[in-house]
C-alpha cells in the first residue's frame, strides 16, 4: 500500500500555497519504478517491428499492388483497426439531496461547470472558470488538480480517490488520513460516520479546507472508496471552496 512504501513524501505545511504533488511523487514510487521497464519493452517491440519490415523488404522485393493485368489475383481488404473503447465518464446526479459539510452549497444562480473525470465513480461541480487537469492515476488511485484565479491570489484544489481494500474499516481510515496531499494543519472533525473535515484560517489572508469521505458506489452497499478533497484559497474565496467540497460530498452519498 502507498503508506507502506519507502520514499513517500513528507507532508508540507501550508500557511501559504502548498506545492502540488508531482506525478510519481505521490502516493508511491511503484508507478515510477515500472516506467523504465515499460520504455524498454516499447523500444524492443519497435525494433522488432522495424526489423521485420526491413527483412520483408529484402526478402520480398517487387511485391507491390496487383494490377488489372494480373488475372485471378485478389487484393485482401484491409481490416479496420478496432475503435478504442470509450473512457467511462461519471454522471452528475442533479437530483441528489444536498449534503453540507461546512458553509454553503451551490445555488441555482451560481455559474458552475460539471467536472467529469475519466474513470471516476462520480462527477461534481466547480465554478465555471475553474480549470482542472489530470495529475496521476492507477486503477485504484487517481488524482486531479484544479485552479482558479491568478497568483498569488489564486485558489487551488486537489481531488484524490483511492480504493479501499478492507471495506474502509477503522484501520484503513486511520491510514488514509495520513495520505492527504497537503498537511491539514488541524485535527479533523467528524461530521458524520463517513466524513471528516478540517477548516483552517492561517490569519495571513489564506485558508484551507480538507475533507475525507468514505463511500460506496451502490446505494446501501459496502464502503469501497475514499475521496480526499483539499482547497487552499484566499479568505475571500472560502465559501467557493466550501461549495465545491459540499458538492463532492453530495454526489458521493
User: Hey, where are the domains in the chain?
Assistant: 2-30+103-251
Query: pLDDT (tens digit, 9 = 90+) per residue, 124-148?
Result: 999 999 999 998 888 889 999 999 9
Q: Are 244 and 102 in contact (CB under 8 A)?
A: no
CATH number for the domain whose boundaries are 2-30+103-251? 3.40.1000
Q: How many residues does the chain have?
A: 253
Question: Burial of 65 by CB count in 10 Å (0-12 exposed, 13-18 middle, 19+ buried)?
Answer: exposed
* pTM score: 0.70
Number of helices and strands in the chain (H, E): 3, 9
Query: pLDDT (tens digit, 9 = 90+) per residue, 50-105?
Result: 444 433 332 333 333 333 434 444 444 444 444 445 567 899 999 999 999 999 99
Query: pLDDT (tens digit, 9 = 90+) per residue, 6-28?
Result: 443 333 333 356 666 655 554 43
Mean pLDDT of 180-195: 95
* Bridging pattern class, strands 124-127 and 112-115: antiparallel
C-alpha span between 140 and 163 (Å, rounded) = 5
Residue 137 is given by DSSP the state: E
CA 10 to chain centre: 20
Per cent of the chain over pLDDT 70 is 66
Amino acid at each position: 500500500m502507498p503508506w507502506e512504501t519507502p520514499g513517500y513524501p513528507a507532508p508540507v505545511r501550508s500557511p501559504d500555497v502548498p506545492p502540488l504533488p508531482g506525478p510519481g511523487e505521490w502516493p508511491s514510487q511503484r508507478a515510477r519504478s515500472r516506467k523504465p521497464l515499460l520504455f524498454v519493452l516499447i523500444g524492443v517491440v519497435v525494433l522488432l517491428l522495424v526489423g521485420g519490415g526491413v527483412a520483408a523488404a529484402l526478402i520480398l522485393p517487387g511485391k507491390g499492388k496487383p494490377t488489372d493485368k494480373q488475372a485471378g489475383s485478389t487484393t485482401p481488404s484491409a481490416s479496420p483497426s478496432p475503435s478504442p473503447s470509450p473512457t467511462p465518464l461519471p454522471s452528475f446526479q442533479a437530483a441528489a439531496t444536498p449534503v453540507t459539510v461546512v458553509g454553503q452549497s451551490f445555488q441555482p444562480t451560481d455559474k458552475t461547470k460539471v467536472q467529469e473525470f475519466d474513470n471516476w465513480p462520480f462527477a461534481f461541480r466547480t465554478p465555471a472558470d475553474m480549470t482542472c487537469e489530470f495529475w496521476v492515476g492507477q486503477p485504484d488511485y487517481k488524482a486531479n488538480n484544479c485552479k482558479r484565479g491568478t497568483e498569488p491570489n489564486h485558489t487551488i484544489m486537489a481531488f484524490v480517490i483511492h480504493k479501499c481494500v478492507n471495506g474502509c474499516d477503522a484501520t484503513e481510515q486511520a491510514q488514509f488520513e495520513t495520505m492527504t496531499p497537503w498537511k491539514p494543519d488541524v485535527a479533523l472533525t467528524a461530521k458524520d460516520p463517513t466524513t471528516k473535515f478540517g477548516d483552517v484560517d492561517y490569519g495571513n489572508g489564506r485558508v484551507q479546507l480538507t475533507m475525507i469521505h468514505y463511500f460506496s458506489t451502490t446505494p446501501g452497499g459496502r464502503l469501497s472508496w475514499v475521496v480526499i478533497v483539499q482547497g487552499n484559497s484566499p479568505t475571500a474565496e472560502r465559501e467557493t471552496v466550501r461549495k465545491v467540497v459540499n458538492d463532492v460530498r453530495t454526489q458521493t452519498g
